Structure 1
Amino acid sequence: MQVRPPQSTAKPPEDAPGVPVRRAALRVLDAVIRRGTPLEQALGPASRDISRADDRALVHVIAAETLRRMADLDALIDSATQRALPDDAKARMALRIALVQALALGTPAHAAISTVLPLVDGGPRKLVHGVFGTLVRGNATLPEHPALPMPVALRWQAAWGDAMVMAAERALAVPPALDLTLADAAQTDDLAARLNGVSLMPGHLRLADHAAIPDMEGFGEGSWWVQDLAASLPARLIGRGEGHVLDICAAPGGKTLQLAAGGWKVTAVDNNESRLARLRDNLERTHLQANIVTADALKWAPPAPADAVLLDAPCSATGIFRRHPDVLHRVLPSHIAEMAALQTQLLARAADWVRPGGVLVYAVCSLEPAEGEGQLEAFFASRADFAIDRVLPDELPVGMTAHPRGWLRTLPGTLSDPGSDLGGCDGFFIVRMMRTA
């Protein structure tokens, strides 16, 4: 389709239709890139002046797609400027927003540029209009698969190799499917038929197309909850039981629901009361029970050791980049190091809360070895009373395999090899250990 470039350089009114949405998207991007604020946290304050729900949703779409495509957008911008603009310059931000609309979201070029020009003044406004027009007249396009930011690509290449980087770029191009965890695995076939879903293992459904989540069949009855397939595996590796299990750093609670549905007496511990409120709502909706404790796991301790402990530790969250592309831009090596230090402390405390013969599962939704394999190596250097309880093939979906040493590492290529229609999964590190003494 021929994209007609805009003809006027006039600055539209500040309150012209569409401008407040683009201004809010600019605020979101500024918060993510300059201050390191997670995208979801930045959306509320940035959209405070926008009343319509569909406009707030558009803010999210523009900001998320800009973050997803930012490396390629910047390459286009740099190709059309004599001198590189600073990464956080308002002119570059405005160009990113205009270009992502015209080249990825299907917005007409005149609307894409006219709604961002009020965001800049003077010389930068002329620059934005000129660069945008040059690229549109030159029939600029974005690649099929978004490029990762160079620091991320180099870090992941060093850790996992070229194939992983290419798989991550393929994964970034396609919004992830919706995964559901079922309260009753015996209902898998029935719900799969009714929701037109595909099951990759008992108690799991994957939906390519779906209605709004609260309107879907089974939501009100508590038959299921939203949870990525990889995120469901830590609790699956604990299995069913009748004893006491601690879910540490539990919010927003998908794993707590799994453990409660599996018959365990669950104590869910987290220090974030607002996220625990979501867990309480989901417990009520699913008619499941758990003891919820609002506490800092670095200060709290249980009255007695538990039969099993699940620690899904706070982490960089780089493994969920498909749905949260902001992590590619705001997570720096210093942040990864801070998270790794916290994980070491939490893992040491959680290990003490496991009874002899009990199980400890450690997990992170991270693609950084320092938060996964590195944690395990350091843990075993200080604890001789634990051994890996190997993940078995029949505990995993077809197409997913454990590491030869017994832990599980999911990468962007997991369940998403070229030619596969399985749809991939988030990046996780999961290890199950038994306390031997």
Structure 2
Amino acid sequence: MTDIAGLATRRAALTMLDAVLRRGDALDQVEARACRHLELPEDKAMARAIAAETLRHMVDLDALIDARTRQPLADDAKARTVLRMMLAQALVLKTPAHAVVATGLELLSGGPRRLAHGVFGALMRGDPALPEKPTLPETVAQRWRDHWGDAMVEAASIGLAKAPPIDITLRDPETAAHPGGTELIPGHIRLSESGPVPAMPGYAEGAWWVQNISAALPARLLGNGAGRSVYDLCAAPGGKTMQLAVKGWQVTALDLSEKRNRRLSENLERTGLAANIITMDALRWQPEAQADAVLLDAPCTATGIFRRHPDVLHRISERDIADRAQLQAKMLEQAAAWLKPGGHLLYAVCSLEPEEGEAQIGQFLDAHSDFLINAVTPDELPDGLSPTDEGYVRILPHHLAELGGMDGFFIARMQREN
């Protein structure tokens, strides 16, 4: 194999992109395998950055490529993917052109190297630039426009331009040492500056953990536990579990992934909190007793976290949305059976698709006359965010835009009748 500095990193990035665009795999799922031959953390980080920025700007990168090719390259052609990577490095990551060419062309060994070299060279001579607001894939933009309107699509495009800010949840808001920032809601801070998380004040001591404000709201809406029992489903890596434990709940945290549960256990140890961790599929698990509350952070398409996971913009289809909605319905059925009369069922998804949110809960309530919405009130939410007329929480990209926006989420709090 040719020994070119940085080539292995670019091969890893290409492997990730191929898995996302050809097979529909999530970037997080394929990253470790694609980077297994890279020894240095900075090389792994660069591979991830190349893949992520290519996906973030892919529509606009394709427009540049198409403007310089006589015959359109197929969407899944290797030459197109490599050219996307080369342009993302040059225009977004500011990699020197000579390094981009040396590593990019080698990825096409035995393929259309002259074509890629010619297109890249012609583009760079023209001093190209990407738009400040990345263009969303048209199918995604139209779907969201139909659901939420033009303003939401505009906000999503603005939000896609860069990775979201870092939020943290404080273990003890009264005494916690933390890096400082803007308080979004008591006990939750948006950092003004960020760096390596483990090196920040208070992290090693367990004073706080990273958790986007949207993801922090579901557990907050269950209030104080006072020793009562709660099942936290799909719990890892543990942000909600730790929130519940701090509030005095007796937590049983269930997750299918043994690897993710190890992270949950490490987080509990670091923060000095306790929970009963179970590694099992929620659809197969049977608890010994009903709980006072169930928090179902359901598996979903994750389209609401497109800023940090731009792969969802290119791999999630209508079929994926329908499949996730079907799984969520099954999990809601399970969760409902595990709840004591008078108890609360908190349902949440980091999705911008109504099929996984409003429609899902509407169908559940139609089929379960013993469950009612316990409406969320404005004083339970950050300033600038209001519950819907139905008492749900629907978070869209433009919420808290002046502070950096929020991840897309849907939350419903329901109570089982006595």
TM range (shorter): over 0.9
Q: Tell me if the contact between 1:360 and 1:434 (Cα under 8 Å) persists in the aligned partners.
A: yes
Q: Residue 81 of structure 2 corresponds to which residue in structure 1?
A: 93
How many residue pairs end up in the alignment? 417
Shift of 1:185: 2.5
Q: Tell me if the contact between 2:19 and 2:30 (Cα under 8 Å) persists in the aligned partners.
A: yes
Kindly provide the amino acid, as one letter, of the partner of residue 72 in structure 1: D
Instruction: Give distance in 2, aligned partners of 1:248 and 1:20.
Output: 39
Kindly provide the amino acid, as one letter, of the partner of residue 56 in structure 1: K
Q: Residue 193 of structure 2 corresponds to which residue in structure 1?
A: 209
Is 1:81 matched with 2:69?
yes
Instruction: Give distance in 2, aligned partners of 1:434 and 1:286.
Output: 30
Correspondence for 1:428 among 384, 406, 409: 409
Correspondence for 1:343 among 320, 323, 328: 328
Q: Residue 276 of structure 1 corresponds to which residue in structure 2?
A: 261
Q: Residue 13 of structure 2 corresponds to which residue in structure 1?
A: 25
Specify the SS of the correspondent of 2:184: coil
Specify the SS of the correspondent of 1:225: strand
Instruction: Give distance in 1, aligned partners of 2:372 and 2:410.
Output: 17
Correspondence for 2:91 among 96, 99, 103: 103
Specify the SS of the correspondent of 1:200: strand
Q: Tell me if the contact between 1:23 and 1:116 (Cα under 8 Å) persists in the aligned partners.
A: no
Q: Residue 198 of structure 1 corresponds to which residue in structure 2?
A: 182
Provide, for residues 321-340 of structure 1, a one-character-per-residue CA deviation record: whole Å limited to 9, x for no partner.
Answer: 11111111111211111110
Q: Residue 326 of structure 1 corresponds to which residue in structure 2?
A: 311
Instruction: Give distance in 2, aligned partners of 1:49 and 1:335.
Output: 31
Instruction: Give distance in 2, aligned partners of 1:424 and 1:382.
Output: 35
Matches within 5 A, 1:209-228: 209-228=193-212
Shift of 1:246: 0.9
Is 1:399 matched with 2:384?
yes
> Which stretch of structure 1 is more off in the superposition, 61-70 or 121-130?
121-130
Q: Tell me if the contact between 1:186 and 1:202 (Cα under 8 Å) persists in the aligned partners.
A: no
Instruction: Give distance in 2, aligned partners of 1:218 and 1:107.
Output: 35
Specify the SS of the correspondent of 1:95: helix
Q: Tell me if the contact between 2:371 and 2:414 (Cα under 8 Å) persists in the aligned partners.
A: yes
Instruction: Give distance in 1, aligned partners of 2:127 and 2:96.
Output: 13
Matches within 5 A, 1:218-367: 218-242=202-226, 243-367=228-352
Specify the SS of the correspondent of 1:308: strand
Q: Residue 167 of structure 2 corresponds to which residue in structure 1?
A: 179
Name stretches of at least 5 consecutive residues in structure 2 with no aligned partner: none
Shift of 1:127: 0.7
Q: Tell me if the contact between 1:250 and 1:268 (Cα under 8 Å) persists in the aligned partners.
A: yes
Coordinate RMSD, CA, aligned: 1.3
> Which stretch of structure 1 is more off in the superposition, 150-159 or 337-346?
150-159
Q: Residue 8 of structure 1 corresponds to which residue in structure 2?
A: none
Name stretches of at least 5 consecutive residues in structure 1 with no aligned partner: 1-12
Matches within 5 A, 1:364-379: 364-379=349-364
Shift of 1:41: 2.0
Instruction: Give distance in 2, aligned partners of 1:30 and 1:120.
Output: 14
Q: Tell me if the contact between 1:409 and 1:428 (Cα under 8 Å) persists in the aligned partners.
A: yes
Q: TM-score, normalised by structure 2?
A: 0.97
Shift of 1:387: 0.9
Specify the SS of the correspondent of 1:94: helix
Instruction: Give distance in 2, aligned partners of 1:67 and 1:282.
Output: 31
Distance of aligned partners of 1:430 and 1:115 in 2 relative to their CA distance in 1, 3 Å threshold: same
Q: TM-score, normalised by structure 1?
A: 0.93
Distance of aligned partners of 1:286 and 1:131 in 2 relative to their CA distance in 1, 3 Å threshold: same
Instruction: Give distance in 2, aligned partners of 1:112 and 1:255.
Output: 42
Specify the SS of the correspondent of 2:131: coil
Provide, for residues 376-414 of structure 1, a one-character-per-residue CA deviation record: whole Å limited to 9, x for no partner.
Answer: 111011011111111111111111111011000001111
Q: Tell me if the contact between 1:247 and 1:269 (Cα under 8 Å) persists in the aligned partners.
A: yes
Q: Tell me if the contact between 2:168 and 2:189 (Cα under 8 Å) persists in the aligned partners.
A: yes
Shift of 1:184: 1.3
Provide, for residues 160-204 of structure 1, a one-character-per-residue CA deviation record: whole Å limited to 9, x for no partner.
Answer: 1111111001001121111101111223xx64xx51311111110
Q: Tell me if the contact between 2:179 and 2:202 (Cα under 8 Å) persists in the aligned partners.
A: no
Instruction: Give distance in 1, aligned partners of 2:331 and 2:57.
Output: 35
Provide, for residues 54-96 of structure 1, a one-character-per-residue CA deviation record: whole Å limited to 9, x for no partner.
Answer: 1111111111110101111011111111121111111001100
Specify the SS of the correspondent of 2:254: strand
Instruction: Give distance in 1, aligned partners of 2:181 and 2:113.
Output: 48
Specify the SS of the correspondent of 1:431: strand
Instruction: Give distance in 2, aligned partners of 1:109 and 1:211.
Output: 28
Provide, for residues 117-166 of structure 1, a one-character-per-residue CA deviation record: whole Å limited to 9, x for no partner.
Answer: 00113561111011111111122110001111111111111111111111
Q: Tell me if the contact between 2:10 and 2:103 (Cα under 8 Å) persists in the aligned partners.
A: yes
Q: Tell me if the contact between 1:309 and 1:360 (Cα under 8 Å) persists in the aligned partners.
A: yes
Specify the SS of the correspondent of 1:85: coil
